[in-house]
């Protein structure tokens, strides 16, 4: 049965709101409040290490105590700091939040002669500045988000309206027309929010044109492939996947309906989803997976699953396919149980990892949190608890939390990198999942693909 998340949430509100429903389903064994406090303590501890060893740098190296830059090659924009802001705020770590906001106001300057990924810069930095603005209302944060988006805009000046992959933040020089649906079509929630807040429709219009341009080029089976040339509009691969290169294209179709009530985006989402369910759905030993297929013939071309695809159970459920979304999330939870931490790649046909590393990924707990928002079922909290405790056990290093080079060993071998999204994503999902914080509206909210909250914060009254 297809259910509409808005109706589910409206139903929950009519019954007295989430708070009235959740206690009946709460676990007798787990002290969720204590777990939420532990998440908050880990966030504060990590922030303090970052403050001391990498302040204003993009990403800390938690094993060596050094740092690296991203998305610019040789210049730091304070990526982790900006990604962390709304997480700090929702946890009530207010002095640290203010410290970060003060750094942005005094130091963040995007006028740099260097090249960035348009997609990464938008979801992480434009989105991070907007969610921090949503948290505290500071106009300077909005102005900086707008300035950054203005620097990315020239990338969309192509014959198709689909953006180049890279742009120089100072000169506007563009590079690489060969790109992917995710790189092209992951803008509308952030840029639509910018239009709403600034009154300038160009951001929403540009982002919407790009997402529609991908949809219009779908095959006769209603599938899209992983690579496309934004100048000619021609596909450059035949592989349809729900994983890397395509994932957030599907996500932002649904999200644009959820956030703005864009019914045409909802229609496009359902067309794409029906095709995925028809051509890519595979059941193996009672578990649901999604094969990679040829986008024009539907023939299976790969059985490897990206860990990145594990977010998809949440999206399916949001779009109304609750049973399938739950089943897919359970498939990944079984892999988590087996390895402790998910490998970056897993082949459902051989039941073996195809990539041994884990880049400190949030996708499974992202799905668990999304499912929990829909039906408040305790099992989603349990998946989040297992994810958090495994991270504490295996990923913690001297200066923060790090990615892993190999999830199959015991102990698991650590690498030396804390990606910016860690600050914005899993720490927030854990906290929201466990805490029942009054700073978040559990019935009406929106989190972006990067976990940035663009709707749903509740400021405590003074
Ligand atoms: O940047 C993150 C975001 O969730 C995304 N892709 C991958 C990252 C996290 O794994 O869209």
- Residues 6 or more apart whose CB falls under 8 angstroms from that of 405 comprise 356, 357, 413, 414, 415
Is the CB of 449 inside a 6 Å radius of any atom of ligand 1?
yes
In the reported structure, the alpha carbon of residue 427 is separated from the centroid of ligand 1 by a whole-number distance in angstroms of 14
Residues 448 and 127: beta-carbon distance below 8 Å: yes
Burial grade of 209 (CB within 10 A; 0-12, 13-18, 19 or more): middle
Instruction: Give the single-character DSSP code of 124.
Output: I
In the reported structure, the alpha carbon of residue 415 is separated from the centroid of ligand 1 by a whole-number distance in angstroms of 19
- Does the residue 391 lie in any domain? yes
Give the span between the Cα atoms of 260 and 151, in whole angstroms: 24
- Does the residue 417 lie in any domain? yes
Is the CB of 421 inside a 6 Å radius of any atom of ligand 1?
yes
- Does the residue 270 lie in any domain? yes
Nearest by Cα to 116 from 191, 162, 173, 182: 173
Query: Where would I find the H helices in 54-126?
Result: 79-90, 94-107, 118-120
- For the chain, how many structural domains are there in total? 1
- First vs last C-alpha separation in the chain: 44
Give the span between the Cα atoms of 342 and 355, in whole angstroms: 10
- Ligand 1 atom at shortest distance from the alpha carbon of 366: 4
Residues 430 and 388: beta-carbon distance below 8 Å: yes
User: Tens-digit pLDDT profile for the chain (462 aa)?
Assistant: 233 444 444 333 322 233 333 444 445 589 999 999 999 999 999 999 999 999 999 999 999 999 999 999 999 999 999 999 999 999 999 999 999 999 999 999 999 999 999 999 999 999 999 999 999 999 999 999 999 999 999 999 999 999 999 999 999 999 999 999 999 999 999 999 999 999 999 999 999 999 999 999 999 999 999 999 999 999 999 999 999 999 999 999 999 999 999 999 999 999 999 999 999 999 999 999 999 999 999 999 999 999 999 999 999 999 999 999 999 999 999 999 999 999 999 999 999 999 999 999 999 999 999 999 999 999 999 999 999 999 999 999 999 999 999 999 999 999 999 999 999 999 999 999 999 999 999 999 999 999 999 999 999 875
In the reported structure, the alpha carbon of residue 21 is separated from the centroid of ligand 1 by a whole-number distance in angstroms of 31
- Does the residue 460 lie in any domain? no
- Does the residue 249 lie in any domain? yes
Note down the domain range covering 88: 5-455
Give the span between the Cα atoms of 131 and 118, in whole angstroms: 18
Q: State which of 421, 426, 452 you would mutate to test the pocket of ligand 1, scoring each by most atoms of that ligand within 8 A of its C-beta.
A: 421
Give the span between the Cα atoms of 380 and 84, in whole angstroms: 24
What are the φ and ψ backbone dihedral angles of 56, each rounded to 5 degrees? 80, -5
Six token digits for residue 164:
């180049």
Instruction: Lay out the sheet containing 174-175: strands in order across.
Output: 115-117, 166-168, 174-175
Instruction: Give the single-character DSSP code of 298.
Output: -
Type and span of the H or E element at 364: helix 363-375
Q: State which of 59, 247, 308, 310 you would mutate to test the pocket of ligand 1, scoring each by most atoms of that ligand within 8 A of its C-beta.
A: 308
- Does the residue 55 lie in any domain? yes
Task: Give me the residue label for tokens 């909250």.
Answer: 453
What are the φ and ψ backbone dihedral angles of 235, each rounded to 5 degrees? -70, 145
- Ligand 1 atom at shortest distance from the alpha carbon of 124: 1
In the reported structure, the alpha carbon of residue 251 is separated from the centroid of ligand 1 by a whole-number distance in angstroms of 12
Is the CB of 361 inside a 6 Å radius of any atom of ligand 1?
yes
Torsion of CA 185, 420, 273, 339, to 10 degrees: 150
- Does the residue 461 lie in any domain? no
Helix axes 127-136, 94-107, angle to 10 degrees: 130
Nearest by Cα to 230 from 325, 159, 134: 159
Six token digits for residue 396:
């913690």
- For 106, other C-beta atoms within 10 Å of its C-beta total 10
Give the span between the Cα atoms of 368 and 379, in whole angstroms: 8
Type and span of the H or E element at 44: helix 32-53
- CATH number assigned to the domain comprising residue 246: 1.50.10.10
Give the span between the Cα atoms of 64 and 185, in whole angstroms: 36
**DSSP-based helix, strand, coil % in the chain, nearest 5:** 50, 15, 35
Alpha carbon 163 to chain centroid distance? 20
- For 229, other C-beta atoms within 10 Å of its C-beta total 15
Nearest by Cα to 178 from 107, 144, 120, 229: 229
- Does the residue 462 lie in any domain? no
Q: What is the pLDDT of residue 171?
A: 98
């Amino acid at each position: 049965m297809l259910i509409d998340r808005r109706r589910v949430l409206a139903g929950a509100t009519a019954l007295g709101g989430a708070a009235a429903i959740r206690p009946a389903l709460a676990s007798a064994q787990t002290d969720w409040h204590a777990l939420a406090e532990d998440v908050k303590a880990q966030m504060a501890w990590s922030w303090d290490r970052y403050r001391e060893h990498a302040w204003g740098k993009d990403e800390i190296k938690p094993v060596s105590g050094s740092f690296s830059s991203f998305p610019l090659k040789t210049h730091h924009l304070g990526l982790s700091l900006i990604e962390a802001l709304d997480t700090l705020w929702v946890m009530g770590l207010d002095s640290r939040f203010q410290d970060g906001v003060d750094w942005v106001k005094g130091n963040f300057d995007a006028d740099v002669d260097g090249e960035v990924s348009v997609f990464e810069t938008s979801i992480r930095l434009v989105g991070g500045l907007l969610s921090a603005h949503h948290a505290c209302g500071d106009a300077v944060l909005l102005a900086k988000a707008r300035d950054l988006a203005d620097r990315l805009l020239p990338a969309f000046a192509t014959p198709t309206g689909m953006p180049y992959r890279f742009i120089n933040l100072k000169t506007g020089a563009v590079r690489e027309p060969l790109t992917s649906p995710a790189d092209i079509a992951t803008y509308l929630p952030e840029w639509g929010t910018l239009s709403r807040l600034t009154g300038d429709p160009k951001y929403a219009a540009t982002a919407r044109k790009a997402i529609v341009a991908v949809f219009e080029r779908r095959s006769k089976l209603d599938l899209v492939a992983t690579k496309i040339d934004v100048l000619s509009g021609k596909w450059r691969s035949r592989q349809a996947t729900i994983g890397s290169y395509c994932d957030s294209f599907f996500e932002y179709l649904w999200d644009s309906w959820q956030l703005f009530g864009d019914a045409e985006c909802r229609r496009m989402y359902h067309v794409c989803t029906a095709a995925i369910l028809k051509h890519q759905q595979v059941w193996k030993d009672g578990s649901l997976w999604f094969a990679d297929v040829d986008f024009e013939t539907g023939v299976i071309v790969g059985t490897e699953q990206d860990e990145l695809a594990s977010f998809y159970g949440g999206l399916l459920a949001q779009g109304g396919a609750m049973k399938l979304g739950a089943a897919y999330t359970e498939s990944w939870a079984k892999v988590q149980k087996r390895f402790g931490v998910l490998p970056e790649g897993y082949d459902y046909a051989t039941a073996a990892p195809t990539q041994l590393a884990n880049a400190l990924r949030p996708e499974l707990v992202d799905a668990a949190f999304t499912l929990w928002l829909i039906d408040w079922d305790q099992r989603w909290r349990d998946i989040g608890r297992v994810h958090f405790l495994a991270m504490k056990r295996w990923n913690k290093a001297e200066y923060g939390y790090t990615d892993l080079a190999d999830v199959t060993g015991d102990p698991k071998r650590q690498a030396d990198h804390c990606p910016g999204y860690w600050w914005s994503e899993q720490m927030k999902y854990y906290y929201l999942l466990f805490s029942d914080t009054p700073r978040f509206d559990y019935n009406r909210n929106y989190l972006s693909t990067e976990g940035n909250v663009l709707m749903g914060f509740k400021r405590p009254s003074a």
